Amino acid sequence: MSIDLQTTVGELVVEKPSRARLFESLGIDYCCGGRKPLAEACREKNLDPETVARVLDVADEPRSSEFVPDIDFRRMSLTELADHIEIAHHAWLKRELPRIQYLIRRVVNAHGHRHTYLPKLLETFLAFEREMMQHMAKEEQVLFPMVRELDAADEPLRFHCGSLNNPIHVMEHEHDQAGAALERMRALTNGFTPPADACNTFRVMLDALRQVEEDTHQHIHKENNILFPRALEREAQMNSQMGASA
């Protein structure tokens, strides 16, 4: 066990903001109550300090994916890639966005009077969250089922929207809007840099926003540069085959 039970909860989160997730799930206050040693904070919640420390150790370990060779997403079928995007990116965002909204609201309430950009950050994030939830729903309910249907088809398909290019064009436009919102949040927070007086909740909020930016960039890359072009290529090939056989 590498974690000292006498290290304060606040110090543990300063070292690694990702630890905040475990403390949140256990109801341990790492912000206002962050000066308490881990052992004391655990006992107050009737938790075994050594067990919590071991769980933190495990959570601190590099993700196993970091030791796996890079996946070549180009080799996935269209169906596999759509499934991967939903599982790896959509599901993660659906879990994280409500958590981050809660963190931002806490930080605005506590620090908004000193850091006047925070209300604008909340406004920008709320618009981003709303638009991303709607965007993912359209992909899951409309575009991705069409992509899977195309992947399994043996002959050209007739979609209600005409070509796949039409919904894909809409999704790419929404990707541009999401990217612009992320740029605004990065600019407002000076590159997600905590100010000198930032409490731990403030730091955790910024770290969470940074992770959302990174994940969304990967998410959009897989769609714009791999899934969408391959789906359009498949559609074009099938249509050309139909033309040749006519």
pLDDT higher than 90, residue 201: yes
- What φ, ψ does residue 236 adopt, rounded to 5°? -65, -40
Strand partners, 58: none
Choice between 38 and 159, residue whose per-residue pLDDT is larger? 38
pLDDT score, position 113: 94
Percent residues over pLDDT 70 in the chain:
93
Q: Output the CA angle 2-58-204, nearest 5 degrees.
A: 90
Tokens of 39: 């052992």
Q: What is the largest CA-CA distance in the chain?
A: 78
Helix 78-85 to helix 228-245 angle (10° resolution) is 150
Name the one residue in this structure whose structure tokens are 């919102």.
181
With bands split at pLDDT 50, 70 and 90, how would you rate the model's confidence at 62? low
Residue 242 burial class via C-beta count within 10 angstroms: exposed 0-12, middle 13-18, buried 19 and up: exposed
Tokens of 184: 């605004």
| DSSP structural state of residue 227 | I
pLDDT higher than 50, residue 44: yes
Provide the b/e sequence for 67-79 (b: ≥16 CB within 10 Å). Answer: eeeeeebeebebe
Name the one residue in this structure whose structure tokens are 């007739």.
158
Choice between 67 and 103, residue whose per-residue pLDDT is larger? 103
